[in-house]
């Protein structure tokens, strides 16, 4: 079925998933609110991410940092100097564009040289067709504010454009308190803000959004070599589905996290065939990045990024070390002990190799020597692999994937369309709806109500007693509730078959199949189906 963003947005509005922010005042471009169903969906996404990335692992801990931080963090990270998009204005219709997107829409490529950005020949305004465009100018995406009552340069602060930097800035507090040793990771989810030039595609590119980020700290390859005598690369064909191994170099760790994240997206219900990997080319990589892969999803408006997984070397911690004056080195006891057993000849050969390698890459030999001294003493600045996902983008992908219109024909040949959101049960906003068949029979209603109250302690449940049962099922289909439980006369022991006392009808959203099961078996049956 062809799905359009308009159909999906219309259902999202109708059923309380997503509303334009401040709608009664005309909204605000790039800002969206999540309604009763959307807020449940987002919470389930966050929880599922946390379970997979933190709770089920021994080697990842969490952080919940502030949105506004010391602005020096953003100087060190490079965001103040370089977190900018190229912007152009049409001098005729005054429409403002992001220059790279404007070019892309016309099959052109924005030119970047030493002096900055340049529009290619033939580029025109997509709104009015005019070629009368300004030169691209750099526009910093960080939202600025002031901390305290005085609005001057000394009180400027920024709303964070990513959650990641707080993890680096708190690294020295996390290491001793978590009692974790490299390799280990720190995860954080929360709001980020970017003053996007051109928010678009519904919630896909917003100005306020949520991220779920992991900074996974690993040994530099040189430390792995000293510890294990070799460094495993992808060419060695490591088993990425099992436990991580000591001899993994950065390349293997990077691929491991790509595989882990793909596994998680599949668990979340996105089909393998709609997930794509885009490996950035050497030219596209940031200067500090060794590799970066985007996990993309086939949205109705095209294949677009859900998550980026970057191998960022030791860039971030080294930057914060330089700017804060605080050492970001860790003490690796296993490395120190391994080095203590090496002979002077082995150490000399290792040093010569590292210095030659660094020099060949244009680095300072003195820095290489200092690095090797540190390694022999068990010290280094960890490198990092960063899987960075967008909560809102995943919510949108799940909505697009779940949306379905099913043509039904009833027994009298009448055609009807069933709108259904086929969420995976683990992420569905409401897990179970409890429906008393009739509402004017107090004992039956009370029995249903008792069951509802019991189930509600375990999962988000819905109670619906208005309208025909078929219509109530359809309402639940539209919000993606995987299970409906109907309490009827049989449940009360008042039907034709007294053996059906204390049983209910369990109806499955996707197949619309209905089975009769004892109330005592309900929780176990639903639990098994809801597990991630
Ligand atoms: N720390 C790395 C980082 O922030 P990014 O590729 O800029 O990397 C990571 O962002 C993820 O955050 C993206 O893959 C996307 O899912 C989400 N994201 C980024 N900008 C967004 C926006 N304007 N609206 C919604 N989600 C966004």
Task: Give tens-digit pLDDT for 180-233.
Answer: 999 999 999 999 999 999 999 999 999 999 999 999 999 999 999 999 999 999
Q: Ligand 1 within 6 A of 15 CB? A: no
How far apart are the CA of 390 and the centre of ligand 1, in A?
6
**What is the Cα 519 distance to its own chain's centre?**
37
Q: Which of 160, 388, 389 to mutate to test the pocket of ligand 1 (most atoms within 8 A of CB)?
A: 388
Place of tokens 């099992």: 242
Hey, how many other C-beta atoms are within 10 angstroms of the C-beta on 271? Answer: 11
What's the rounded Cα separation, in Å, for the pair 269 and 44? 13
Sign of the alpha-carbon torsion through 80, 196, 49, 232 = negative
Q: Ligand 1 within 6 A of 312 CB? A: no
- Which segment of 37-41, 80-84, 251-255 scores lowest on mean pLDDT? 80-84
Does 495 score more than 90 pLDDT? yes
pLDDT digits (tens, 9 = 90+) for 64-90: 999 999 999 999 999 999 898 999 999
pLDDT of 392: 98
What's the rounded Cα separation, in Å, for the pair 332 and 172? 14
Which tokens in the block code for residue 221? 């390859």
Angle at 356 between CA 353 and CA 362, to 5 degrees: 145
Contact 270, 262 (CB under 8 A): no
SS3 82: helix
Ligand 1 atom closest to residue 199's alpha carbon, by position in its atom list: 23
* Integer angstrom CA distances of residue 50 from 60, 62, 109, 263: 10, 9, 39, 14
Residues contacting 434, CB < 8 A, separation 6+: 448, 451, 452, 455, 461, 462, 463, 464, 484, 485, 487
Q: Ligand 1 within 6 A of 319 CB? A: no
- For ligand 1, atom 14, the nearest C-alpha belongs to 307
Does 54 score more than 80 pLDDT? yes
Band of pLDDT at residue 156, cut at 50, 70 and 90: very high
Count Cα neighbours of 493 within 13 Å in the Cβ-side half-sphere. Answer: 5
As a residue count, the chain comes to 532
pLDDT of 153: 92
Place of tokens 């996707």: 510
Does 115 score more than 80 pLDDT? no
pLDDT of 312: 96
What's the rounded Cα separation, in Å, for the pair 272 and 261? 12
Regarding beta strands 302-311 and 291-299, do their DSSP bridges make them parallel or antiparallel, or are they unpaired?
Answer: antiparallel
Domains of the chain: 430-530 (3.40.50.800)
SS3 378: coil
- For ligand 1, atom 2, the nearest C-alpha belongs to 388
Which tokens in the block code for residue 402? 């779940």
Q: What percent of the chain has pLDDT over 90?
A: 95
- For ligand 1, atom 16, the nearest C-alpha belongs to 390
What's the rounded Cα separation, in Å, for the pair 36 and 16? 6
Radius of gyration of the chain (CA): 28
Averaged pLDDT, 324-349: 97
What's the rounded Cα separation, in Å, for the pair 22 and 288? 40
Q: Which of 30, 162, 265, 384 to mutate to test the pocket of ligand 1 (most atoms within 8 A of CB)?
A: 162
pLDDT of 287: 84
pLDDT digits (tens, 9 = 90+) for 396-420: 999 999 999 999 998 899 999 999 9
Q: What percent of the chain has pLDDT over 70?
A: 100
Q: Ligand 1 within 6 A of 162 CB? A: yes
Band of pLDDT at residue 531, cut at 50, 70 and 90: confident
* Integer angstrom CA distances of residue 465 from 44, 420, 473: 26, 20, 11
- Omega into 19 within 30° of 0, i.e. cis? no
Averaged pLDDT, 283-298: 93
Averaged pLDDT, 150-168: 97
Q: What is the mean pLDDT of the chain?
A: 96
* Integer angstrom CA distances of residue 205 from 9, 125, 357, 422: 15, 21, 41, 24
- Which segment of 108-117, 167-176, 247-256, 490-499 scores lowest on mean pLDDT? 108-117
Q: Which of 160, 278, 308 to mutate to test the pocket of ligand 1 (most atoms within 8 A of CB)?
A: 308
Give the predicted TM-score (pTM) of the model. Answer: 0.95
- For ligand 1, atom 20, the nearest C-alpha belongs to 205
Which tokens in the block code for residue 236? 């060695």
β-pair partners for 507 = 484, 514
């Amino acid at each position: 079925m062809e799905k359009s963003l308009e159909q999906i947005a219309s259902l999202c509005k109708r059923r309380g998933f997503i509303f334009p922010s401040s709608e009664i005042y005309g909204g605000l471009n790039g800002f969206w609110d999540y309604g009763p169903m959307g807020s449940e969906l987002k919470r389930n996404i966050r929880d599922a991410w946390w379970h997979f990335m933190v709770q089920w692992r021994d080697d990842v801990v969490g952080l919940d940092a502030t949105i506004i931080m010391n602005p020096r963090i953003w100087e060190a990270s490079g965001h103040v100097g370089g977190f900018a998009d190229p912007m152009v204005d049409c001098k005729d219709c005054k429409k403002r564009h992001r220059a790279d997107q404007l070019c892309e829409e016309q099959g052109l490529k924005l030119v970047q040289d030493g002096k900055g950005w340049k529009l290619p020949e033939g580029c025109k305004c997509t709104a009015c067709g005019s070629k009368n465009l300004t030169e691209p100018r750099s526009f910093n995406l960080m939202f600025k504010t002031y901390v305290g009552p005085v609005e001057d340069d000394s009180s400027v602060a920024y709303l964070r454009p990513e959650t990641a930097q707080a993890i680096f800035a708190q690294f020295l507090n996390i290491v001793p308190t978590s009692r974790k040793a490299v390799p280990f990771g720190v995860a954080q989810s929360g709001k980020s803000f970017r003053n996007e030039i051109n928010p678009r595609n519904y919630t896909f590119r917003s100005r306020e959004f949520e991220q779920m980020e992991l900074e996974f700290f690993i040994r530099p390859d040189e430390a792995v070599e000293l510890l294990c005598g070799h460094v495993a690369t992808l060419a060695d064909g490591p088993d990425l589905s099992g436990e991580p191994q000591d001899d993994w170099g950065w390349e293997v760790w990077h691929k491991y996290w790509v595989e882990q994240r793909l596994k998680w997206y599949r668990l979340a219900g996105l089909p393998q065939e709609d997930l794509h990997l885009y490996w950035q080319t050497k030219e596209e990589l940031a200067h500090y990045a060794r590799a970066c892969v985007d996990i993309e999803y086939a949205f109705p408006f095209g294949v677009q990024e859900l998550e980026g997984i970057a191998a960022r070397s030791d860039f971030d911690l080294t930057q914060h070390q330089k700017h804060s004056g605080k050492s970001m080195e860790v003490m690796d006891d296993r490395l120190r002990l391994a080095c203590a057993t090496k002979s002077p000849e082995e150490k000399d050969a290792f040093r010569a190799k590292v210095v030659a390698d660094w020099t060949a890459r244009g680095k300072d030999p003195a820095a290489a020597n200092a690095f090797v001294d540190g390694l022999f003493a068990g010290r280094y600045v960890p490198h990092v692999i960063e899987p960075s996902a967008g909560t809102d983008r995943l919510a949108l992908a799940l909505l697009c994937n779940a949306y379905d219109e099913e043509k039904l024909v009833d027994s009298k040949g009448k055609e009807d369309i069933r709108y259904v959101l086929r969420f995976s049960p683990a992420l569905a906003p409401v897990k179970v709806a409890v429906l008393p068949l009739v509402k004017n029979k107090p004992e039956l209603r009370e029995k249903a109500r008792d069951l509802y109250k019991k189930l509600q302690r375990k999962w988000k449940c819905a109670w619906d007693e208005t309208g025909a049962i078929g219509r109530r099922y359809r309402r639940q289909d539209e919000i993606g509730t995987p299970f409906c439980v109907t309490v009827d006369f049989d449940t009360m022991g008042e039907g034709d078959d007294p053996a059906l006392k204390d049983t209910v009808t369990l109806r499955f959203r996707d197949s619309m199949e209905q089975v009769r099961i004892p109330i005592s078996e309900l929780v176990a049956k639903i639990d098994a189906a809801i597990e991630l």
